[in-house]
Structures are given as C-alpha cells and as structure tokens.
Structure 1
C-alpha cells in the first residue's frame, strides 16, 4: 500500500511568496489592459519563479495496514454476583470474545473490573480510561462493557473515538429494598435525645405483595434491639438516646422482604461519639490561699465546664461587730447547693476546706450519698485536713480513700508517681516524671513544700511525696469516685518553682477521671479501626499485671481468642485482621466493646438494579447502544463510521483503517536551476513575441 502527495519547502516565508504572487498578478493585469502579446508567457515565467521559491516535492509513502482493537470490559464486582448475573456474564463474555476474534484484521483486549479499593465501588470509568491510554486511539474500533450498569465513577469515562456498547446483565423483573441513612450526628449529648434521619427505598419492578411498610430494628453497642414499623419511601426521624461517653455503635437492620434481590443493603451502622453537655463543677474554697487561683484558672479554661465557685471569706465564728446589712458578701446557699441541686453537679471540689460549722453533718451525709449514687468529690487538702476541722471527721470520712494522721510534713520533697501510678491513666506518661525510686533525671519536676501525712490508704496510691507517704489517692465509692490530694502546693508548679511541672495536665486528668471520661478509665477495652481497612488494633488498659485474651465474636456468631502483648505500663495490645466487614463484639471479663469494620452495606449494594443510567451519557456521546442479555447475547458486526452502531440483536464496531508508514521517499519536482532556466526561457520568449508584434506594427 502506497500513497503520493505534494509537499513544499519554501525558501522564503509564505507571506513573502504570497506578496510576490500578488505583484505578479498586478503586472499581468496591466499587460492585459495594454494588450501586450507576451502576457501569457510572462505569467508562466512568474509561476516558474514562484515554484523555485516554494520548492515543491513529491512524497511517496509505503504503508503497512494495522489491525483494529476492540476493548472488552468484564464487570466482576460484588453486585455482579447477585441472582444469575455471574452466569450471564460468563456466557456473554465468551460469545462476544469469540465473535470479535473472528472478525478480520481485529484484535481483542480483555479487561476485568474488580471491586474498587476502600469501598470505591465499580470503577468502569477508570478502567476504560486506563485501557484507552494503553492503546493507539487511531486503532480503537469500539468498546464493549458487560455489566449491570452500576458504575460509581461514570463521570470519569473518557471520550471514545469509537462506539461504546453497553451489555446489561440482570432482569427487568428485579426489585430491591434498601436502607438509606440520610443524616446522622457525629456527636450526641449523653442522656439527651438525638435524631437520625433515614429512609427505606424500594427500587426496580416492585411487586404489590411487597407492601408499603417495613420492620426496622435499632440496637446500640449490640444491646437490646428496639423495633419500629416504618413507611417505605418516607423520610423518617428516629429518636436515639446515648447512655455512655465515647463511641456508640448504632446498628439499623431492615427485615428482608420476600423476593428482593439482596438483603446485603438492609443494614447500616452509624458511629456516634457520646459527650457530656457542659460538665458542672462546684468548687468550694475554705479560705483564700495561693493555690486557689490555680483551680479556678484550670476549670475556667475548659470550655466544656460550667464552674460555680464559692470562697468562705467570713466564717460563722467571726465576730467583728459589722452589721450584716453593710456587708457586700452573699450568704453561702448551702441548702440549694448541697440538698436541692446537688445532683446537677458532676464534680464537687473541696479546696482547703475545713469543717467550721457552715455545713451541718446532714449535708455531708447527703454529699456522701451523692457520691455513692454516681457523683464525684475531689479533696485538695491543706493543714486544716490534719486538725479537728478535717473533712475526715464528717460523714465524708466513710468514703475517703485514706486517713490523716494529724501530722503536717513541712519539708521540701519531690512528687513521684508510684509503681501503680505508672500504670494509672491519671499519672501515666506525665512529661518529665521522675522514677518511683532512685535519682531523678536532669529535667525533673520542681519540689513541693508541704504535705499532710496519710495512712490506711484503701484506694489506689498513684503518687507519693515526703517520706514516701501517699500524696494522691484515687478510689471508687459505690457508683461514684473520690480523689484525695494530700497537699495544696500544685500552684508551685504553676509558678515555675524549680522548673515547675505538669500542674495543668495533672489536675485536668484528676478532674476528668472523676467525671468518668472514657480516655481516663483505668480498666478499659479500646478498639481502633484503621480507616479504609479491616485491620483492628485492640488495646487493654488495666491495673492488673497480665490480663487474659480478648474474645472476639464475629458477625456469624463464631468466636476467636485474641492474645495480647504488653505495649507499656498498664497497656496490652494486639493487631487483628478481620475476615470481612460487619459488627464485631470484643469481650474480656466485665468489659465489652462493639466495633463496626467496613461498611455494613458496601457501596456495591447501594444500587443493585441493572440500569444504563450511570453510563448513559458516555454511551450516547460515543454513538453506541444498550443491549440486555435477557433478550439474548447480541451479535457483533462492523459498521462504517457515522452509521447506526447498534440494533435489535446486534452491536457494531467501526473499522478504523489505521496504517503504519514503513518508508518515505521525497523527490523534488524540478531542481532549483531548472526552475530558473524555465523562467528565463519563458521571459525571453515573451520578449521576442512582443518584439515581432512591434515590427509588424
């Protein structure tokens, strides 16, 4: 196969040659007007000169015909396993591949489309773009896609130089019911009602027997399920109340309907973090002192804390003769705070408070009961704690984790975490902490100067001070908690005395542990999911030496034991790869944790009805068509470009006639000297012709 063409290699820019041609035309017009006999010869001479400048050549190409390429995409995603779609796909791909390979001068490229990574769904657009980029566009005669049409990246489908033929699996009678979560909060306030908006959708050829209502159940953390009867196709708002902080796993399950395509999209999982709304703290300072501002600044700096602070400036025994009407102080609202509204507080802090007759014993008994019901008390002790005014002498002493001896240790000492404190989340990992024994490091904490001696500790001693006596003791009392700090000198760290220390972090941890923040629980089972994967990291935080294995209950009800290895003081962990998506329950002793891995309803099952809708625009733009396999496997034909490429029972590809150039030969029409000689001969002939005309005249 060869081709012949004329090419030019001008000696001057085409604009200059065009100007010369225009000047020659003007001169020829003048010669015609004057009636000169040699105008034709002069015109030929001008053309010869222009030809010399343009340098025309003959180009001869030897071409080798190239075969056409047809792309055949085979959708093997999860939605293609529904019903008999896999068998439909197998038969169609085998038949279409055989017919394409039987066409003359045609090659087949097979591309299998698997499930997209990280729940991306069916990536037909990307697969088409990558396949097209790997082939010369001039040779692509068409693309055939065998799929259910549910492409999740249809907008990425490339513009094809040939028809895109869509061959759909599935059946016209298919229908499906699915659950759609429209809006769900990322956070919910503990104890308050939050709402989740959802909808139950019917898609496809829905039979009348399916009805217009469906049964929906809701379970939090795998607990007892609540059932609802809901309308299909209606926007629904369901109430939900969280009862604990941290992550809450909410599972929605829709009862399967007879005859629906799949039940894989009848479930959904929402993870909501439970948070407290404005933690309320009551701070009672027995008298003004240097550390009072430390507590106030700590609590006021926390945007999630509502602080009520009272300082006892005028004890009852003070007799100075000042009339009450002239005092600017308000009376301490003891009954309102400690009787009427005590349960509204999450934490009560007694800062250097001594029993001086302001609160009667019945009030302290009510505070004790408040703790046992689930409240929290923190005592920051000063010298008064070692006297007869000590809170130990009140009914609060029944729940205190240690007893004062009456001795005040007025000496410089270095606060240290105990061996137990290295494991407890309140004191574990504090920056710059000295070791429980031995010499501290070069950047240790500053010393404190006063401590109340404690004995008979019944709680967990997490810090020690002077003479290795308990400094910080934490304990559980009934459903509540009590913390006892045997010194009022944390403010020295705040002032930077001897380098200071982590005063803000320590006091914050104590307060938040008292208010049962999940991240500070000493006994906790934590599950962290790596985004986009089925990998799970399980962490067990405990005060025990070696906890046993964690039992993992799989979605199918089977169990596995997961052994833990020590990852640090009081922390044991393990990494586990789940076999598949679903809801997993972790249990060890009294601790349970429910975690959702992967989507409860993968993206592949969001839309399951076979449809040409997602890829319709790409098919129309390419001039292709849509065929349904339930009507039979279409035959493959070749059609000319611009003609219809699909019809009843057939689909078409357009041969491209592409060729590769094997050889190119270029020969000038005339050499440059020949053009000049021709122009000179024609000019002389024109001059002689005009001379004879003048002699005759």
Structure 2
C-alpha cells in the first residue's frame, strides 16, 4: 500500500530569533506609519513581512510513503507438560486455525515462536519478552500464546506490551493430578542413626469424589532394598525416619501407587522421587590389640592415628598372665586390660577389631571369643596381622575364632626373603588392584619381606596376594554380614622403612582396613554410576569375574535398555551412556541394583500439571488481552482499531482481536522552495514601491481625513 503526502517545511537562512526580530520590526514600522497617517503603512508592513518570510526559506516537501503490515506473534508451548494426553492434539488444532485466520487478514504477518524444554523448566516468560523486543512496537498488533500456563520464569514476563496479549490454555476442566512433594531432605546422614525426610502428597485440579481425601500408599526403600510401606493422607506434611546402613551415597526411592479412580490422573511422573543422601561415619572406631611389642607394631598405630576420622583404642600385651617375674601386682605400673568392657559390654561400638601378632594366652576366656565371632557375623570387621605365633599352639585359629578365619596355619613359618605379588584375584580386587609399583614386565616389584606363615585358605576365600612359591599371603573373606582379613606376615613394616625400595605400605593397610569397614569404593562386587554432565552417565562395574554386563537400565517410562560394558582393566568394566530425559533410572546387573535420579525425579514441567492462567493473567489484563480455555472452543480472530476492546463473546462463541496499527515507512522525499529567490526580491521591491507611490499622492501623503477637514 503506497500513498503520497505534501507538507510545508522551512529552511531558514538566519536564526529564527533574527527572523522573528525582522518581522516584529516590520510590524512596528507599519504601526508607526499608521499613527502618523501615512498612506503606505500597509505596503511597508507587508514588505517587511515578505522579507522575513523569504529569510525563513519556505519550501514544499513532497514525500511518498509505503504502508507496513501488522505483525502477530504466535507462541507455541511444546514443553513436556504439553505432551500430556490430549494437549498436543488440542494445541495443534488451535495452531492450524489461528494460522489460517491470521493469513486471511489483510496486511498481516505471522511470527511463530516455539518454546521447548529447558533444564530450568518452561521459560515462557523469557520467550515472550524476546519475541516482543524483536519486533517494532509500531507494527506489533498482538501476541497469542498457546500454553498450559505453567511457566518457571514468571519474573521474566514483561509488565506490558504495545498490543493485546492473549493466552489460550490447553487442558480439560476435569483434569486432576496427585503428586509427591519433598519438603525437606538432608544431604548427609550418620550411619546407623536416624535421618528424617519431610514430605507430603498433594492433590491438584478437579479431584474425583472417589479419590478426594483417600490416603496414598507410600513406598520407601534405600538402594532398592527393604521396602517400607506407609499410608499418607493427602495435604498433610509427614516426617519419615530412615536409617542409613553404609557409607557413601544412599539412594532413597520414594513413591506411591497410582490412585484407583475411574478418572485417571494426568501423569504418574510426579508420583515418585529419589533422594541421594551421603552416609558418613561420625568417627571410625577401631580397637587394636597387639599381642607383643615388635618392629611393625607402630606401623598400625601410626596409620590409624594419622587419620583424623579414626578413634583408636590400642592395647599391647606386655605382661601375659603366665609371666612370673616376682614383681608384686600393686607395684606394676601397667594399665589393666579391660577385657570385659571391650569384648563383652562395648564390642558393638567398634567398626573394626585388629589383632596384631596376638596369641591365645589366657587373657580372653572362650566366651569372649564367641562374642567376637557373633560381632563379625552380625556386621563387624576383624583383621588378623599374623606372625610366628599364628603357627604355634597359641594360634587364634585354635580358638573359637578359628571358625570364621579365612585360612588355617599349617604350623610352618617360612623364614626366607620374598617379594609380595598380586594373584589373579588380587589384580581384580579393589583392595589390591592399582597399587602403585606393582610387579610388571617393566617393573621388578616391591621390596622384599623376610618371613611369612604358611596357611591353607578356605575354598570360598579370596587370596589377593601371594608370597614364597605363590603361597597365600593376604586372604580375605566374608562371614555372615561381616568381613574377615588375614595378613600372614608381620613384615609389612619393611615397606615403610624403604627396605629394597619399599612399597605401598600405608595404602595397602588403609585399603584393608576400609574394606573391612565396608567402604563402598572398595567393594569387590559393585555397580557404580557417576553423573558427569547433565544426563551423561559413566557406568563402572567391579567384579571378581572375567566378564560382566550388560547393564539393564529401566527408564522413567518403564522401558528397558541394555548397555554393554567394555573391559577397562582386570575386574573393571565401564560404559558411557546418555539418558534420554530427566527422571528416575534403575540400573541392574544380576543381583546388583542402583537407583539414580538424573535431574529432578520428575521434570519441573510435571511438578504442576493442571493448566492454569494465573501466572499470565496480569500481563493479559494489562494489555487488554484475554485468558481463555481451548476446551471451550477455538476463539475467532478479529482486527479492531486501536483503543477498542480486544476480546469478547459473540453469538458464535468467544473472539479475540488484534489491533490494526497502520504503520508506514517513507520511500521517497522531494523538497522545492515555495518561491524562487528572484520572485521574493521582486515581491519585496514591488511592495516597497507601492508604499512609496501611495505616500506621494495628493500632497505628499496627507491622509483623507486631513483633506476633508481643510475643505470644510
């Protein structure tokens, strides 16, 4: 649409104040001449004004202008919540209808904006602000948003817009949903102590009568085991006590069964949650009993005392009951060994008991050994650092503890140098695999030890290090719920002294101790999953077997994928996998299970699923727009003049309107002087001449009134 327009413009030769002064002077001269009765006063005044006008430079400006089309922004919300049953089809139908109606309006352009998923939720506010800012305000005729009204950046919504903003909501009036809300959950918790999670079950929307007020059956488990069931009424905050059983990450899975109703809830994606709570020990409590002073005794003590997280109680048997040296008991400066308190009354307070070169000397009665056996079978840890006494008649293997030891002595002590090496199991076991300086083709290995006890391992025990002629040196086993380890030598301290190059003494002893105390990273059969970036997983399967996998992954929608593993070293298999979406994932390989929450258990789009226009209503009201439900039908689209009402209800149903803006742009411009300069000069000279001639007539310019008076 093109049209032309003509306007008067000025191009002054002098400042406007000078031109105005000239015009005022011309008027004063004309007034003075009128007062004096001069005939040419009018001509003089017109001459002065003509001079002022000529200096103002009047010109005719002729421009051609082209009309601009109006712009309508159509926002299409395609976030996850818009994929709920029926909403996609509803939005598609409205989108097609509005595109057709906008296309039928004359001089109107359509701008499509699609809003998808984001890690931070539905960022509809930012999308509206960017879309409005990208268009000229003079051309924007309207904004129409097809959405369920659930956005997560309400602060980014503009306060207003130069055109009406209409919101068309998807969904149905009967929509309802029940969701799980975690109000408070700790990030850390003490092992074997209660932690509390506060949660509630919340109903939203048009809750059916057969569901309203009915309690939800809540199921809670840690690492997929020992499921607990509770009945929780909706709308009530409840506190759930849990007890963490191991160090490291404890994944708490919480969910409830879908309500039994004829009207199905919108989604069950928000019916469950997973919370990662790191289990920590207040302090590791270790009891170290040394049967006699020896060169390696301080090795254990220094190791355990160097760890600030360890509470160590250490006793050394300096004077066994059978020793007779004639010194009266009341003169002995020795602390009595509190055997009853340690091994009967407070044994369960310890995480690990270490017997270092301890022999059966009558200090502990058989009942105390039986209590230690019970302690191990119920989850305790026992470590034996054996010397020559283990091959004697005073060996711990001959006590009741022999029933849980992973190996039996043959009675032979081998006194010859040897280099400790890793067995096949040792190369896979996390306690010994990857120890620095391990023997290889390029490396001779660690420094030698000088003595070991010959032992015969149990059939189900794991021999992870060997000594002379591949005889078992470090043997590990599980007993009931507990752990038992046997180091068949008292020469580990030679590594600490750097003998023949030494070895990883502290690292080995630390790993043995922490394996005994069930540290997750030292489990020989475990499935680990590290979340690297966003939805990317790095899977690690540690096993004593030669093969592993594939890992079965159950996705949030219930489907199962298998991820093959690749060997990344002895006993270590890995894989990288990217999850398709946030949510709860269950990992399984044989009897091993892991539960992971990638991102939120339910994406933010599923936290509030019932459609609502409350967040967008202020913007629509401020711009004269409307919030309508597509369930009532797709509204008709009209174009109204600016300032008129932009929505209403007609005979055929609801209607919304865009505002015609009539914007235009200049395509051509021409400027011509009103009169040429010589015409102005002639006009001014003519006016001056006319004034002079008028004054020179009849007596030099008397006025007619004067002539009349003389005649009388």
TM range (shorter): 0.7 to 0.9
Q: Which residue does 1:127 correspond to in 2? A: 127
Q: Which residue does 1:199 correspond to in 2? A: 200
* Residue 168 (structure 1) aligned with residue 169 (structure 2): yes
**Whole-angstrom CA distance in 2 between matches of 1:558 and 1:174:** 26
Q: Which residue does 2:259 correspond to in 1? A: 256
CA contact (8 A) 1:525 1:592 kept: yes
Q: Which residue does 1:522 correspond to in 2? A: 524
Stretch deviating more after TM superposition (518-527 or 639-648):
639-648
Q: Which residue does 2:463 correspond to in 1? A: 461
CA contact (8 A) 2:544 2:571 kept: yes
When residues 228 and 457 of structure 1 are mapped into structure 2, their CA distance, relative to the original with a 3 A threshold, is closer
CA contact (8 A) 2:289 2:316 kept: yes
Q: Which residue does 2:274 correspond to in 1? A: 270
3-state DSSP class of the match of 2:303? Answer: helix
* Offset, 1:107: 1.6
**Whole-angstrom CA distance in 2 between matches of 1:392 and 1:547:** 36
* Offset, 1:142: 0.9
Q: Which residue does 1:604 correspond to in 2? A: 605
**Whole-angstrom CA distance in 2 between matches of 1:557 and 1:204:** 26
CA contact (8 A) 1:256 1:266 kept: no
**Whole-angstrom CA distance in 2 between matches of 1:46 and 1:569:** 106
Q: After TM superposition, list the pairs within 5 Å mapping 1:162-561 onto structure 2.
A: 162-206=163-207, 208-220=209-221, 221-223=223-225, 225-245=227-247, 246-256=249-259, 258=261, 259=263, 261-265=265-269, 267-273=271-277, 275-278=279-282, 279-289=284-294, 291-316=296-321, 324-325=329-330, 328-382=333-387, 384-385=389-390, 389-402=394-407, 403=409, 405-407=411-413, 409=415, 411=417, 414-435=419-440, 438-440=441-443, 445=446, 447-458=447-458, 459-465=461-467, 468-491=470-493, 493-494=495-496, 501-528=503-530, 532-533=534-535, 537-547=538-548, 549-550=550-551
Between Structure 1 and Structure 2, whose CA radius of gyration is higher?
2
CA contact (8 A) 1:352 1:384 kept: yes
Q: Which residue does 1:95 correspond to in 2? A: 97
Q: Which residue does 1:108 correspond to in 2? A: 110
Give the TM-score normalised by structure 2.
0.79
**Whole-angstrom CA distance in 2 between matches of 1:677 and 1:509:** 110
Flag structure 1 segments of 5+ consecutive residues without an equivalent.
none
Stretch deviating more after TM superposition (460-469 or 577-586):
577-586
CA contact (8 A) 1:214 1:254 kept: no
Stretch deviating more after TM superposition (204-213 or 163-172):
204-213
Flag structure 2 segments of 5+ consecutive residues without an equivalent.
35-40, 702-712
Q: Which residue does 1:151 correspond to in 2? A: 151
* Offset, 1:603: 2.7
CA contact (8 A) 2:392 2:411 kept: no
* Offset, 1:135: 4.0
3-state DSSP class of the match of 2:608? Answer: coil
CA contact (8 A) 2:450 2:491 kept: yes
Stretch deviating more after TM superposition (137-146 or 274-283):
274-283
CA contact (8 A) 1:181 1:268 kept: no
**Whole-angstrom CA distance in 1 between matches of 2:341 and 2:356:** 20
CA contact (8 A) 2:454 2:488 kept: yes
**Whole-angstrom CA distance in 2 between matches of 1:675 and 1:188:** 100
3-state DSSP class of the match of 2:201? Answer: strand
Stretch deviating more after TM superposition (647-656 or 188-197):
188-197
Q: Deviations over 1:574-625 (max 9, x none)?
A: 4556677765554444434444566553433322222111222332343322
CA contact (8 A) 2:148 2:171 kept: yes
* Offset, 1:188: 3.9
Stretch deviating more after TM superposition (384-393 or 602-611):
384-393
CA contact (8 A) 2:224 2:593 kept: no
Q: Deviations over 1:68-116 (max 9, x none)?
A: 11112233444335464444434333332222222111122333444x0
3-state DSSP class of the match of 1:461? Answer: strand
* Offset, 1:483: 1.6
Stretch deviating more after TM superposition (213-222 or 39-48):
39-48
Match of 2:668 among 647, 660, 663: 663
Give the TM-score normalised by structure 1.
0.81
**Whole-angstrom CA distance in 1 between matches of 2:511 and 2:413:** 28
CA contact (8 A) 1:163 1:622 kept: yes
Q: After TM superposition, list the pairs within 5 Å mapping 1:40-119 onto structure 2.
A: 60-82=62-84, 84-114=86-116, 116-118=117-119
When residues 42 and 431 of structure 1 are mapped into structure 2, their CA distance, relative to the original with a 3 A threshold, is farther
Stretch deviating more after TM superposition (383-392 or 324-333):
383-392
CA contact (8 A) 1:9 1:56 kept: yes
**Whole-angstrom CA distance in 1 between matches of 2:389 and 2:8:** 112
CA contact (8 A) 2:189 2:278 kept: yes
Q: Which residue does 2:614 correspond to in 1? A: 613
**Whole-angstrom CA distance in 2 between matches of 1:133 and 1:230:** 48
When residues 470 and 11 of structure 1 are mapped into structure 2, their CA distance, relative to the original with a 3 A threshold, is farther
**Whole-angstrom CA distance in 1 between matches of 2:501 and 2:48:** 104
**Whole-angstrom CA distance in 2 between matches of 1:226 and 1:426:** 34
When residues 269 and 206 of structure 1 are mapped into structure 2, their CA distance, relative to the original with a 3 A threshold, is closer
CA contact (8 A) 2:448 2:500 kept: no
**Whole-angstrom CA distance in 1 between matches of 2:345 and 2:436:** 41
